[in-house]
């Protein structure tokens, strides 16, 4: 494992910490180490939710420009999960929470955008400044940001590279919760615990349906939902967990999820 990426497990939650001074910038080897961590989340049945965070003033400054100056290509192969190990990890069926502790710039913001949920400290700031460097944020920023913010605002950020503070991000719904820095990880862990209490197959089905239908109109989305194109959703409908939930409710006891 790359020394810049640490993993710790608390119950069913995997915390992935980026610690690469001074700015948690991401090069190819760090991307691949992040992917290995997210792959562990996917492959370990005992893990239900992931949290990704950073150490210090930065969540992540994004692509390591030092590596670029030294010859790492703009289109370098960052591994099967794409840049930062998550931006193109489309098969990941478990939720990821980005706990944004500080500056999320460029590819760091793209990593946060690739997560399912986002909590932030007041020190968090978000920007996609790639146009200032002769590039575009093509590790998901140019694709995801207009789907998370009003298009005019997203376009402004993409064209100008301007920063968005934590309070503004909360106001626009980009961030789920804004909490003091010393409460950031406990907030993320509490959110993860709430998710982990629920049926794992149902949570995976929600993620699958959201991914497949988020930009379809309602009628088209219903057709997708009723089709055979969503295997996790179809498996959930006839699962033991779908029987256990109502049974546990009627018996006034906690459900015993099997994940099947």
- Point out the residues that are catalytic: 110, 130
Whole-angstrom Cα distance, residue 146 to residue 142?
7
Structure tokens at 156: 């402004």
With CA atoms as reference, report the closest residue to 108 among 133, 137, 132: 137
Contact 136, 91 (CB under 8 A): no
82: left (phi over 0), alpha (psi -120 to 50) or beta: left
With CA atoms as reference, report the closest residue to 143 among 100, 89, 212, 88: 88
How do strand 125-127 and strand 103-105 relate by DSSP bridges? parallel
Contact 85, 34 (CB under 8 A): yes
Q: Within 70-183, where are the H helices? A: 107-114, 141-148, 151-160, 166-171
CA atoms within 13 A on the CB side of 9: 11
Whole-angstrom Cα distance, residue 175 to residue 153?
15
With CA atoms as reference, report the closest residue to 34 among 87, 72, 93, 95: 87
């Amino acid at each position: 494992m790359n020394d810049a990426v640490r993993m710790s497990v608390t119950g069913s939650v995997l915390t992935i910490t980026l610690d690469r001074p001074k700015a948690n910038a991401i090069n190819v080897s760090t991307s691949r180490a992040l992917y290995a961590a997210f792959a562990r989340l996917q492959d370990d049945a005992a893990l239900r939710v992931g949290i990704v965070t950073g150490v210090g003033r930065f969540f992540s400054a994004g692509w390591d420009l030092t590596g670029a100056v030294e010859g790492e290509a703009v289109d370098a192969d960052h591994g099967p999960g794409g840049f930062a190990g998550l931006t193109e990890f489309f098969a990941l069926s478990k939720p990821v929470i980005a706990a944004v502790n500080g500056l999320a710039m460029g590819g760091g913001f793209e990593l946060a955008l690739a997560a399912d949920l986002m909590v932030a400290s007041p020190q968090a700031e978000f920007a996609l400044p790639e146009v200032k460097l002769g590039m575009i944020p093509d590790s998901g920023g140019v694709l995801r940001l207009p789907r998370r913010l009003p298009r005019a605002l997203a376009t402004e950020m993409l064209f100008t590279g301007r920063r968005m503070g934590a309070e503004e991000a909360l106001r626009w719904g980009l961030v789920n919760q804004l909490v003091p820095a010393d409460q950031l990880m406990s907030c993320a862990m509490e959110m993860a615990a709430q998710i982990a209490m629920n049926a794992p197959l149902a949570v995976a089905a929600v993620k699958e349906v959201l991914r497949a239908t988020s930009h379809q109109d309602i009628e088209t989305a219903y057709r997708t939902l009723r089709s055979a194109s969503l295997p996790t959703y179809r498996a959930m409908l006839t699962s033991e967990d779908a029987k256990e939930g109502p049974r546990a409710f009627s018996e006034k006891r906690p459900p015993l999820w099997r994940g099947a």
